[in-house]
Amino acid sequence: MLFAALILGACGGESKLPTPSGKASVTAVNAIYGSPAINFLIEERSLGSVTYKGTTAVANYDDLDYTFNFDVAYAGDTEFTRIASQYIDFVADQQYTLLASGPLSSPTITVWETAKRDFTDTDTVFQARFAHTSYTYNDIDVYFALDGVAPVLGEQVATLTFGQITAPVDFEGGEYVVTITTAGDAADILYQSAPSNILARTDLIVSPFDGDANDTAPVVVRGLNSQGGGATFENPLYPPTVEFLHAAWDLGISDVYDDEALTSQILDDHAFKQLTPETPIETGDYQFYYTPAGDTAAVTLETAFAPANAIRFRVIAHGSGGEYATTNIGLNRRSIETAVKLNVFSASSNFDFLDLYVVNADETIDGVLPFRSGIISRQPNASTDLQAGSFDLYLTQFFERDVIAGPLRVDVELGDVLDLAIFDTDTTDTLEMVLLPVP
């Protein structure tokens, strides 16, 4: 009887578990310059990864207390390394943004908090908050106005030090210019964007970030949205760039024009395996025409190109036997502290899929699994992280063991970036690997 009474007494007591009264939302922003993609977690559940200058999508959770964690992967490690944690006791209907900044070895986590915003279908405004996440700039004034409105001291939307963010402000949808000046001096313009069209019912964080090797500008201003996306405001002073790689082994030495009449030559004597220096180019739609060097009688290759804002591009001509095309890629040169970045592009027409082996210097691939399997030829391939050390690189056909290229020796340290191009040769059963220069 006593045992039964104890059970009944326990069942009749009130639960001590917390009862949520609503939900709050959370995102993370990565302002750690040399970081890889950071895994953002609520307790031990991943909320997504966030790259430098990026944000995760908004996630909604009950208004309870949580510890948020930030993990990174070091090349060669089998487990993630935790670099920071942040405790937050959620309040219902609030939106929390966790800014990760400072060095990767000891980051600072800054919590930005504001009320959640729900737009209606008839709203004609967007909401913007303005932040400061660039180590290049000291204290700044931020102006945000329609095109043609000059900055006037006192009309700035924010005066900010690093890590600060404003309260949200509503603006009617339209084309706006972001101007950043030294704090207190409207004439000292540090940055001014081209007009950008911003749609109604958008929720943005507008902030400058230090440019990296993928950017043409020393500082870029990003508009980060609550869906985990973002866009870079165009800076007219720093247009995109383009470089050309000739990877079509039998196309021959070529001239390249950017007009159908073949009167505007942009390259001459462009030879196989040649990589041209990068050249600034305005955003827009282009057509490039390849002809035999010194001969405008026939176009051997015609291709379209549409460079996007402030990005470094490479136009790669490939093909054989009179069938030629280009692949246009955005360059991935940003160095990260946790790995060697290996970019691979195969221009081969003889092998559609390849396996890449990376072994210690002077070792063979016998008994070794491919480091990268199924490299697709003539298509962009994601970069791969490599450890520091001295290695030999080999290529085989997909799922085969016979070596068709290599060894190619690389001696690398963490933070290095390798740009590997794969070319056909004058035989159909071998390839050539070339490390292209990375500025």
pLDDT of 366-420, one tens digit each? 999 999 999 999 999 999 999 999 999 999 999 999 999 999 999 999 999 999 9
pLDDT level of residue 352 (50, 70, 90 thresholds): very high
Q: Which of 211, 232, 253 is the last residue of a domain?
A: 232
Instruction: Tell me the DSSP string of 221-233.
Output: EEEEETTS-EEEP
Tally the domains of the chain: 4
**Domain C-terminal end among 80, 115, 150:** 115
Q: Is 181 inside a domain boundary?
A: yes
406: left (phi over 0), alpha (psi -120 to 50) or beta: left
**Residue where a domain terminates, one of 214, 232, 250:** 232
Domain presence at residue 4: no
Judgement on whether residues 207 and 276 belong to the same structural domain of the protein: no
pLDDT in tens, 144-162: 999 889 999 999 999 999 9
Mean pLDDT of all residues in 90-94: 97
Pairing of strands 38-42, 403-412: unpaired
Q: In what order do the strands lie in the sheet with 203-210?
A: 169-172, 125-130, 203-210, 219-225, 230-232
Claim to verify: residue 321 and residue 305 sit in the same structural domain: yes
- Report if residue 1 sits inside a domain: no
Q: What is the pLDDT of residues 312-343, one digit of tens each?
A: 999 999 999 999 999 999 999 999 999 999 99
Does residue 355 sit in the same domain as residue 257? Answer: no
pLDDT grade for 227, boundaries at 50, 70 and 90: confident
Closest by CA position to 97, among listed 42, 58, 67, 70: 58
Say how far apart CA 96 and CA 26 lie, in whole Å. Answer: 5
What is the per-residue pLDDT for 17?
65
Q: Are residues 149 and 194 in the same domain?
A: yes
Structural domain harbouring 261? 241-329
Q: What is the pLDDT of residues 238-280, one digit of tens each?
A: 999 999 999 999 999 999 999 999 999 999 999 999 999 999 9
Task: Quote the tokens at residue 429.
Answer: 């059963």
For 376, the token pair is 């697709």
Say what the pTM is: 0.90
Q: Per-residue pLDDT tens for 173-197?
A: 999 999 999 999 999 999 999 999 9
Assigned domain for 359 exists: yes
- Asked if residue 48 has pLDDT above 70, the reply is yes
Q: Which of 395, 383, 377 is nearest to 419 (CA)?
A: 383
Sign of torsion, CA 358 359 361 367?
negative
Identify whether residues 54 and 75 lie together within a single domain.
yes
Are 131 and 218 found together in one domain?
yes
Residues 316 and 354 in one domain: no
